[in-house]
Amino acid sequence: MTTTLPRLLLVDDDVDFVEMMKEYLEPEGFRVDAAHDGRMFRSLMPQSADLILLDVMLPAASGFDLLREFRRLSNVPVIMLTAKDNDVDRVVGLEIGADDYVSKPFNPRELVARIRAVLRRTGAERTGPEPVGTSAAISSHADTATPRLRVGDVELDPAARQAWCRAAALELTTAEFNLLDRFLRQPGQVVSRDDLSLAAFGRQISNKLDRNVDGLVSKLRRKLDPDGGGEERIKTVRNAGYLYVLSIQAGR
């Protein structure tokens, strides 16, 4: 039986760095294609990759520019490679659709761990998606192996990685999907920022100034209520975390 290796697309203008990373990643079980600018990126069919590693600093079009363009076409997971300790890059990347970020310089073993974690969360790794548990908020469907989550007018299918609000499909990044999944498993209960970070990014908040979860919650709020006129679905609980409200399901 032949197993297809996960395909990574590494986009970085540092040729030596790209070659070094290919030498490290390929023995780890990945097939690596490389691009050094936006033109090469577009020519390598990025939508067919399992995961994209995208540097922020690129010639001509930046990594942010390419991510904005790519997110209109595909939900393939993207890990941004950012400058060390640059919180602005991280927040902007997550706001426009990145699934995770790694700060340069980094330990290659950490990068491999992040890649595998994102692939598991998206179900793209050939070992399959992580198992999904159940809760009181789950409405079971006999025709699916994994039950769906439904709270009011929001429904989420963990197996298909799809979500709907008022029967309209939601376009969510991997991190946004994981965040909504976490909220729908505990509606009406406070969920800490640490727990949300673990659900969205596979790790807890590294320091008190880490605002990535807050930015992700804000973006999810806008997608659940794009017109801005409805009841707030996700409430901030000061010094505790966030809460997905139950009252919104009444009458909708």
Average pLDDT over residues 188-216: 77
Indicate the length of the chain as a whole number. 252
Comparing 189 with 134, the larger pLDDT belongs to 189
Nearest residue to 55 (alpha-carbon basis) of 83, 25, 76: 83
- Tell me which of 11-15, 61-65, 211-215, 229-233 is least confident: 229-233
Mean of the pLDDT values across residues 2-18? Answer: 87
Average pLDDT over residues 13-39: 92
Per-residue confidence (pLDDT) for residue 129, from 0 to 100: 36
Query: In the prediction, which pLDDT does 2 show?
Result: 45
Q: Check residue 141 and give its pLDDT.
A: 36
On the question of a common fold for 7-122 and 138-249, the answer reads no
For residue 49, the model assigns a pLDDT of: 93
Residue 139's pLDDT band (cuts 50, 70, 90)? very low
**How much is the average pLDDT of 34-58?**
93
For residue 160, the model assigns a pLDDT of: 79
* Overall pTM > 0.85: no
- In angstroms, the CA 125 to CA 246 distance is 34
* All structural domains of the chain with their residue ranges: 7-122, 138-249
Cα atoms in the 13 Å half-sphere on the side-chain side of 160? 13
Fold of 138-249: Arc Repressor Mutant, subunit A (1.10.10)
pLDDT, tens digit, 9 for 90 and up, residues 59-110: 888 999 999 999 988 889 999 998 766 677 777 788 888 888 888 888 888 8
pLDDT at 97: 87
- Which CATH fold topology does 7-122 show? Rossmann fold (3.40.50)
Which carries the bigger pLDDT value, residue 64 or residue 211?
Answer: 64
